[in-house]
C-alpha cells in the first residue's frame, strides 16, 4: 500500500550500488543434509500509527504483540516484513531472543508518533534459531519519491537457504521484478535454495495482459489470472505458495488486500518439493493486508 505523510529517504545511486559487493559464489548458503517443512509468514504490517489514517491505527506495541501471536498460532520458522518501524522490529527481536533477523531502512519518517524518536521505517525478516549472514540489500528503483529495495541473507532452518524480503512500487514497474529475478538467479544457478517474501503491489487476480504478466520472469508454469492459473507459462525458477498445482487444496491466489492478491512467497523449484506446498491468508487487525501463511518442503 502507499505510505501517508512521510518524507522519502534520499539515498544516492552510488550508495545503493555498494550493497551488492559480496561475491554470491563465496556467500552461498551452507547446505545442511536435511529435509523439512517450513512455515513462513509474509506480512505487510502497516506500521503507520499516528498518521491520521482510517486504517492501521494500532500502536507499535499492539503490532508487535500481533506479529508474535501470528507466529505462535502456526509454529512459524521465518517472517518477511514490510512497512515496519525499526523500533517495532527491535522490540520484536527483544521479545524473541531465540530469533535472528535483519532490518533495512527504506524511508525516514517525519512523524515521531509513528516510529518514536527513531525515524527508520522499512523492510525486514526474522528467522527462528538462525542468525542471517552475507546480508545484501538491492536497490530496485524509485517511484513517486519512494525508493524500493530487496534485502537478503543466508539462514538455516532444516537446510541452508537464501531468504529475502521486498516491497515493490504500487504500479509494479517491470524493471523492479526483473531485478528481483536477476539478483536471486545468481544464487539459484549456484545451487542455492532461495525464498522471497514480499508485498509486490501487483494484483495476481486480474487479466493476464496487465498486472500478472509482470510476474512472468519469476514464475514457473501457469499461475494467476481470472481462473487462478490462466497466465503463463512463466519464464522463471519460482513457485509461489498459493500457486495452482496438482494435488493442492483447490483454492489459489486468494486476495491479501481487499479483492487483490498483492502478497507473495516465492521459492525456487530446484530446492523445494513441487507437490508439497500451500498457502492461506489470515486476517490481522493491525494491517490492511492479510498475513500470508506459506508452507513448503525444502530439500538438498
Q: What is the pLDDT at residue 23?
A: 39
Q: Whole-number mean pLDDT of the chain? A: 88
Give the C-alpha distances (Å, rounded to integers) separating 262 from 88, 124, 226, 233. 23, 17, 15, 20
pLDDT in tens, 119-145: 999 999 999 999 999 999 999 998 878
More confident site: 32 or 142: 142
**% of the chain at pLDDT higher than 70:** 88
Q: N- to C-terminal Cα distance for the chain?
A: 36
Q: What is the pLDDT of residues 6-26, one digit of tens each?
A: 333 333 333 444 344 333 444
17 falls within a domain? no
Q: Would 175 be classed as within a structural domain?
A: yes
**Domain span at residue 251?**
35-298
pLDDT digits (tens, 9 = 90+) for 229-251: 999 999 999 999 999 998 888 88
Q: What pLDDT sits at residue 172?
A: 67
Instruction: Say if residue 270 is exposed, middle or buried (CB neighbours under 10 Å; 0-12, 13-18, 19+).
Output: middle
Residue 202 inside a domain? The answer is yes
What proportion of the chain, given as a percentage, has pLDDT over 90? 72
pLDDT number for residue 170: 79
Express each pLDDT in 237-294 by its tens digit. Answer: 999 999 999 888 888 999 999 999 999 999 999 999 999 999 999 999 999 999 999 9
- Mean pLDDT for the stretch of residues 21-34: 48
Cβ-based neighbours of 15, under 8 Å, separated by 6 or more: none
CA dist., res. 150 & res. 174, Å (int): 15
Answer yes or no: is 224 within a domain: yes
Contacts of residue 93, Cβ cutoff 8 Å, sequence gap at least 6:
99, 101, 126
Q: Which domain CATH number covers 187?
A: 3.60.10.10
Residue 226 has pLDDT above 80, yes or no: yes
In terms of phi and psi (left: phi > 0; alpha: psi -120 to 50; beta: otherwise), the region of 64 is alpha
- For residues 193 and 183, the answer to whether their CB atoms sit within 8 Å is no
Residue 4 has pLDDT above 60, yes or no: no
Show Cβ contacts of residue 192 under 8 Å, excluding neighbours closer than 6 positions.
Answer: 28, 29, 160, 161, 162, 271
pLDDT digits (tens, 9 = 90+) for 186-204: 999 999 999 999 999 999 9
Residue 29 has a pLDDT of: 63
Point out the least confidently predicted range of 26-30, 33-37, 207-211. 26-30
Is residue 23 a part of any domain in this protein?
no
Cβ-contact 292, 264 below 8 angstroms: yes
In a domain, 166, yes or no: yes
Provide the pLDDT confidence category of residue 28 given band limits of 50, 70 and 90: low
What sign does the dihedral 119-121-127-130 (CA atoms) show? negative
Confidence band, pLDDT 50/70/90 cuts, at residue 34: low
pLDDT of residue 143: 84
Which has more pLDDT, 143 or 185? 185
Overall number of domains in the chain = 1
Q: Does residue 14 fall inside a structural domain?
A: no
Q: How confident is the model at residue 27 (pLDDT cuts 50, 70, 90)?
A: low
Per-residue confidence at 113, pLDDT binned at 50, 70, 90? confident
Cell of 230: 490462466
Amino acid at each position: 500500500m502507499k505510505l501517508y505523510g512521510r518524507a522519502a529517504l534520499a539515498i544516492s545511486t552510488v550508495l545503493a550500488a555498494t550493497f551488492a559487493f559480496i561475491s554470491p559464489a563465496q556467500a552461498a548458503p551452507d547446505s545442511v543434509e536435511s529435509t523439512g517443512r517450513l512455515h513462513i509468514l509474509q506480512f505487510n504490517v502497516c506500521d503507520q500509527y499516528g498518521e491520521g489514517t482510517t486504517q492501521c491505527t494500532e500502536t507499535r506495541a499492539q503490532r508487535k504483540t500481533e506479529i508474535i501471536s501470528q507466529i505462535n498460532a502456526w509454529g512459524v520458522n521465518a517472517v518477511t516484513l514490510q512497512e515496519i518501524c525499526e523500533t517495532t522490529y527491535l522490540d520484536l527481536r527483544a521479545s524473541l531472543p531465540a530469533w535472528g533477523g535483519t532490518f533495512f531502512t527504506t524511508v525516514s519518517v517525519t512523524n515521531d508518533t509513528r516510529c518514536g524518536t527513531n525515524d527508520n521505517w522499512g523492510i525486514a525478516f526474522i528467522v527462528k534459531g538462525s542468525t542471517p549472514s552475507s546480508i545484501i540489500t538491492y536497490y530496485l528503483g524509485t517511484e513517486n519519491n519512494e525508493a524500493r529495495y530487496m534485502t537478503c541473507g543466508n539462514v538455516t532452518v532444516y537446510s541452508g537457504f537464501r531468504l529475502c524480503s521486498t516491497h515493490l512500487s504500487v504500479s509494479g514497474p517491470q524493471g523492479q521484478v526483473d531485478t528481483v529475478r536477476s539478483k536471486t538467479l545468481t544464487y539459484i544457478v549456484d545451487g542455492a535454495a532461495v525464498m522471497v517474501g514480499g508485498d509486490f503491489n501487483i494484483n495476481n487476480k486480474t487479466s493476464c495482459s496487465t498486472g500478472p504478466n509482470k510476474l512472468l520472469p519469476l514464475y514457473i508454469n501457469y499461475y494467476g489470472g481470472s481462473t487462478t492459473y490462466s497466465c503463463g507459462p512463466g519464464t522463471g525458477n519460482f513457485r509461489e505458495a498459493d500457486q495452482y498445482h496438482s494435488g493442492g487444496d483447490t483454492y489459489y491466489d486468494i486476495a491479501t488486500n481487499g479483492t487483490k492478491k498483492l502478497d507473495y512467497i516465492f521459492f525456487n523449484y530446484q530446492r523445494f518439493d513441487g507437490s508439497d506446498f500451500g498457502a492461506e491468508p489470515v486476517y490481522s487487525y493491525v494491517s490492511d493486508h492479510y498475513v500470508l501463511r506459506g508452507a513448503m518442503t525444502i530439500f538438498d
